[in-house]
Amino acid sequence: MVFMVTLGACSGVEHPTSPPKAVAGVLDLRQWNFPEAGIVPLTGEWKFYPEKLAMDIQPSDQSGLLAPGPWNDFQVRNQAMGALTYGTYRLKVILPENIHSPALYINAVDSAMRVRVQDVTMQVGIPGRTPETTEHVVKPIIVNFEPEVDGTALITIEVANFAHRNGGMLVAPELGEYKEIVLQEKQNQIWQAMLAAVFLLFGFYLVALHLIRTNRTALWAGTYSLYIALRTTLTGNEVIHIVFPQLPFELDMALEYLGLYLSFAFFSMLAYELFPDEYPRRLRNLFCGAGFLMVCTLALPIFVYTSVLPVFQLVVLLFVPIAVYVPLRAVLRRRPSALIFLSGFILL
């Protein structure tokens, strides 16, 4: 059931033809058939003004060119600008006549933004020039607008980040007809909510099973399922903001990383409970300890504990061969549940 839900979530909007890319801050979409081809990602070269908000930009100012992605390595005065700064993106789009009620979908901007398209302005958080004047909030938005008579529209996105290890517009915004943009977002939210609900119910069932009749395998499997349910709501379309629209940024980030780090320990404990003869206790303690040490970093500023994520990813890479070897060895020894565990691990 989980596999089918995930498959459905991955089979959303398709782009049947290769979308055009922006060149020098201009994206010509006159040949893009929106009724047939659908939503288009705004990839390519955006004009970028580092260390400037929109009000700071003068007609004589020279912009750089930056594709969507972390801005950390963008060169300012012959050195990388880093993550903790601010800047403004601009893109001129030329739209065809066959698009009705165009709209933008913007997600994954770290960690505050103000969007202006024509005479429409929306913001998530408050982008400022300093940490004190910036309010960090991360969640997707939809901006509906009307282009000029000649079909052009100027998109301006101010971004500030003084918290996360990656700053900027991490993923390209998408442009399409308003009804299609809304439909895509609702479909993705429904799939994410369904997936979270499946893992949530399964997790509660297993934990309850442990409480009724002590079963440590059920406890750790249930705990791991509850983690997946939580993380599903915190990533992608971040459906947690539908239930908690005022969720503080600091709590949002802490929940995401807390679950991520603890899940490593939960999974290690589950593998040991299922296959104690194949999974050495010392390895279990080592990986559980690594997970709990990473949890301790959450007491530090957000920039610090997000910056150590690559270390955690390295530990996970070291763990993957063991996570495959242990159930594979258990399958060869005909241990109960070994084949199911191995299949589930490969699918996840």
pLDDT for 101-149, tens place per residue? 999 999 989 999 999 999 999 999 999 999 999 999 999 999 999 999 9
Residue bearing tokens 């763990």: 319
Q: Which two tokens stand for residue 324?
A: 């495959």
The DSSP code sequence of 197-262 is HHHHHHHHHHHHHHHHS--HHHHHHHHHHHHHHHHHHHSTT-THHHH-TT--HHHHHHHHHHHHHH
For residues 270 and 320, membership in a common domain is answered with yes
For residues 164 and 49, membership in a common domain is answered with yes
15: confidence class by pLDDT, cuts 50, 70, 90 = very low
Render pLDDT for 25-77 as a digit per residue (tens, 0 to 9).
999 999 999 999 999 999 999 999 999 999 999 999 999 999 999 999 999 99
In the predicted structure, residue 13 carries a pLDDT above the cut 70? no
For residues 96 and 71, membership in a common domain is answered with yes
Mean pLDDT in residue range 173-195? 96
| Structural domain ending residue among the three candidates 142, 175, 208 | 175
The DSSP code sequence of 37-87 is H--EE--B-EEEEET--GGG--TTPPPEEE-SS--TT-EETTEE--SSEEE
Any alpha helices (H) in 88-215, and if so which ranges? 178-212
For residues 19 and 39, membership in a common domain is answered with yes
Amino acid at position 82, single letter: G
Predicted confidence at residue 4, as pLDDT, reads: 41
**H or E element, residue 88:** strand 85-94
Predicted confidence at residue 348, as pLDDT, reads: 63
Render pLDDT for 76-86 as a digit per residue (tens, 0 to 9).
999 999 999 99
Q: Is residue 8 part of a domain?
A: no
Query: Is residue 40 within 8 Å of residue 176, measured between CB atoms?
Result: yes
For residues 162 and 36, membership in a common domain is answered with yes
| Domain span including residue 46 | 13-175
Q: Which two tokens stand for residue 122?
A: 């929306």
Q: Is residue 1 part of a domain?
A: no
**Peptide bond preceding 111: is omega within 30 degrees of 0, i.e. cis?**
yes
The DSSP code sequence of 95-116 is --TT--SEEEEE--EESEEEEE
For residues 209 and 165, membership in a common domain is answered with no
Q: Is residue 196 part of a domain?
A: yes
In the predicted structure, residue 8 carries a pLDDT above the cut 60? no
* Total residues belonging to the chain: 348
Q: How many helices (H) and strands (E) does the chain have?
A: 10, 15
Q: What is the mean pLDDT of the chain?
A: 90
| Structural domain ending residue among the three candidates 175, 204, 234 | 175
Where is mean pLDDT largest: 197-211, 234-248, 263-277, 318-332?
197-211
For residues 98 and 194, membership in a common domain is answered with no
State how far the alpha carbon of 122 is from the alpha carbons of 114, 119, 156, 183, 217, in Å.
Answer: 6, 10, 11, 20, 48
Q: Which residues lie closer than 8 Å to 318 by C-beta, 6 or more apart?
A: none
Amino acid at position 263, single letter: S
The total of structural domains in the chain comes to: 2
For residues 307 and 331, membership in a common domain is answered with yes
State how far the alpha carbon of 29 is from the alpha carbons of 10, 93, 147, 222, in Å.
Answer: 26, 7, 13, 49
Query: Is residue 233 within 8 Å of residue 200, measured between CB atoms?
Result: no
Torsion of Cα atoms, 105 then 108 then 111 then 112, to 10°: 0
| Structural domain ending residue among the three candidates 175, 192, 212 | 175
For residues 259 and 111, membership in a common domain is answered with no
State the pTM of this model.
Answer: 0.86
Render pLDDT for 278-289 as a digit per residue (tens, 0 to 9).
988 998 998 898
Residue bearing tokens 């007491």: 299
Predicted confidence at residue 290, as pLDDT, reads: 87
In 3D space, the residue among 165, 158, 170, 48 whose CA is nearest the CA of residue 112 turns out to be 158
Q: Is residue 2 part of a domain?
A: no
State how far the alpha carbon of 84 is from the alpha carbons of 53, 111, 163, in Å.
Answer: 15, 10, 7
